[in-house]
């Protein structure tokens, strides 16, 4: 019988640090995944990318070994190509500058089933690595993961059966949010293929950007959006963007063994919720038009004021898992399945004031859901 290896938990905080921030010259590159925007438009896929210099661009799309689409784009720095979305589960994009081997990039896009929810309750694992508050610091993240034995020198998954939890706040402040997101998007598939797992848990900054609070963007993010003639949050509309579709399918609360993970904290408001129930609610709210148009004062959802208030409390409330600031303890609910474990916390805690909360109290309308 194989001897069980010792349980390893490595907790790492990757907050953006002015002293370690990249210089403007180092942060200038928007090519490759640092500026890649992929979204679905009806039955088609639109791919936008930025080249290092104003020049003709190229895009090649393949499924397996078969090339399904090829095109070149006029000279410029921002490029967009649109093609009919193939039925295959994965698309490989090759894109960059025509005639410049140094500006050629490759990204694989998964057509995940949006109805399939990720598993959010796991038993004990042998090795667990936890990182938090990446805030666009891609290079620092890669260094930490290499030191933890999770990725190799080529930035590919090398962690075997390890579980890696990214505990929110990938967005804002740092120099490379898009690069960080595409890196984690790829690493999730590689980890699963190797028998390990990458778990992305949403934090408050993910919610903030997708709902229009852009006050904390890093230096590079606005420049990417400006090249495409849109605001940065337009790159993350859940009904269109590949990255946003992936993100809103991730949980804000999960359990591995006896450890409960949330970016903020767990108040008594959620003491009777299962981690699955919390995920189901988050995914349901994220599919609504209101989620993407939260900061749009002209939009009036077909919900009554009580239904809108439930969404405010869940996403922006001082006791939501995105914003609550408290030390918490978790106990396993005495149910029949570990997947039905529930949350228990002390009754009263202090919390840190939210930096922003859009008001929706005036919204009234149809049914309460």
Domains and CATH numbers, the chain: 11-16+116-340 (3.60.21.10), 32-110 (2.60.40.10)
The pLDDT tens digits for 253-300 are: 999 999 999 999 899 999 889 999 999 999 999 999 999 999 888 999
pTM: 0.84
How crowded is the C-beta side of 312, counted as CA atoms within 13 Å? 17
Residue closest to 233 by CA, chosen among 185, 276, 178, 189: 178
Is the distance from CB of 169 to CB of 263 less than 8 angstroms?
Answer: yes
Residue closest to 30 by CA, chosen among 14, 59, 53, 47: 53
Within 10 Å of residue 317's Cβ, how many Cβ atoms? 19
| Residue where the block lists tokens 């959802």 | 301
Residues in contact with 335: Cβ distance below 8 Å, sequence separation at least 6, in sequence order: 341, 342
- Residue 330: predicted pLDDT: 46
Q: What is the mean pLDDT of each run of 10 residues along the chain (369 residues)?
A: 37 36 46 96 96 95 94 97 94 96 96 83 94 95 97 97 96 94 97 97 96 91 92 94 95 94 91 94 94 90 94 94 73 36 35 40 36
Within 10 Å of residue 90's Cβ, how many Cβ atoms? 14
How crowded is the C-beta side of 225, counted as CA atoms within 13 Å? 17
The pLDDT tens digits for 53-98 are: 999 999 999 998 899 999 999 999 999 999 999 999 899 999 999 9
Question: In degrees rounded to 5, what are phi and psi of residue 52?
Answer: -65, -35
| Residue where the block lists tokens 């010259």 | 25
Residues in contact with 164: Cβ distance below 8 Å, sequence separation at least 6, in sequence order: 128, 129, 130, 131, 145, 150, 187, 191, 196, 197, 198, 199
Give strand ranges (E) for the chain: 8-13, 37-41, 44-63, 66-84, 90-97, 104-110, 121-122, 127-132, 163-166, 197-200, 253-256, 259-262
């Amino acid at each position: 019988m194989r001897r069980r290896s010792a349980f390893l938990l490595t907790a790492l905080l990757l907050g953006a640090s002015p002293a370690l921030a990249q210089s403007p010259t180092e942060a200038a590159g928007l090519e490759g995944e640092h500026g890649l925007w992929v979204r679905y438009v009806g039955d088609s896929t639109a791919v936008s990318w930025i080249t290092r210099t104003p020049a003709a661009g190229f895009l090649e799309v393949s499924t397996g070994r078969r090339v399904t689409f090829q095109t070149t784009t006029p000279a410029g720095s921002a490029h967009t190509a649109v093609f009919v979305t193939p039925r295959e589960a994965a698309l490989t994009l090759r894109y960059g500058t025509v005639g410049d081997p140094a500006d050629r990039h490759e990204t694989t896009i998964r057509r995940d089933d949006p109805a399939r929810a990720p598993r959010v309750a796991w038993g004990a694992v042998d090795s667990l690595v936890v990182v938090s508050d990446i805030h666009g610091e891609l290079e620092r993240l890669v260094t930490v993961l290499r030191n933890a034995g999770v990725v190799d020198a080529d930035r590919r998954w090398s962690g075997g059966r390890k579980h890696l939890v990214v505990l929110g706040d990938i967005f804002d402040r740092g120099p490379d949010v898009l690069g960080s997101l595409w890196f984690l998007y790829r690493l999730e598939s590689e980890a699963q293929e190797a028998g390990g797992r990458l778990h992305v848990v949403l934090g408050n900054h993910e919610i903030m950007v997708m709902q229009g609070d852009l006050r904390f963007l890093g230096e590079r993010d606005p420049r990417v959006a400006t090249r495409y003639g849109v605001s940065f949050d337009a790159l993350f509309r859940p009904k269109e963007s590949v990255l946003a579709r992936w993100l809103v399918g991730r949980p804000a609360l999960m359990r591995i063994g006896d450890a409960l993970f949330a970016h903020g904290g767990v108040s008594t408001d959620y003491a009777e919720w299962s981690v699955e129930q919390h995920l189901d609610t988050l995914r349901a709210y994220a599919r609504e038009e209101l989620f993407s148009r939260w900061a749009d004062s002209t939009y009036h959802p077909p919900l009554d004021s009580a239904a809108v208030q439930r969404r405010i409390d869940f996403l922006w409330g001082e006791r939501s898992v995105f914003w609550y600031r408290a030390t918490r303890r978790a106990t396993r609910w005495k149910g029949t399945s570990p997947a039905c474990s529930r949350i228990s916390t002390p009754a009263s805690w202090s919390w840190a004031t939210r930096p922003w909360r859009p008001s929706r109290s005036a919204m009234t309308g149809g049914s309460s859901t």
